[in-house]
Amino acid sequence: MQRNELVKYLNQLFQADKFKDYCPNGLQIEGTAEINKIVCGVSLSQELIDYAISQNADAIIVHHGIFWNKDAYQITGIKYQRIAKLIKHDINLIAYHLP
């Protein structure tokens, strides 16, 4: 399935546009355009990212993504490490919090 088709489907399924949330819902980090394997979890953690890599996943879908409205804009420390690994392995991060 194509990434854009999956995100469009999930946005409709979860009615993401009907929720005012603390974070961006939907695609947070863009990876490969073709998605064949998805790993799901509650919160984006290093362990979940490493598991997705070991499973050759193309996308991770979580409840708690990496970006939040009150977070600092700087991408440093743990946030940097997680984003760097996702980008290096071309893995999409898709998150839905309130929806």
**What average pLDDT does the segment 83-98 reach?**
97
Q: Which stretches within 15-76 are classed as H helix?
A: 46-54
**What average pLDDT does the segment 76-91 reach?**
97
How far apart CA 8 and CA 4 sit, in angstroms, is 6
How far apart CA 57 and CA 48 sit, in angstroms, is 11
Tens digits of per-residue pLDDT, 37-53?
Answer: 999 999 999 999 999 99
Phi, psi of 37, deg, nearest 5 = -140, 135
Tens digits of per-residue pLDDT, 50-66?
Answer: 999 999 999 999 999 99
Beta bridge partners, 39, equal 60
How far apart CA 57 and CA 90 sit, in angstroms, is 9
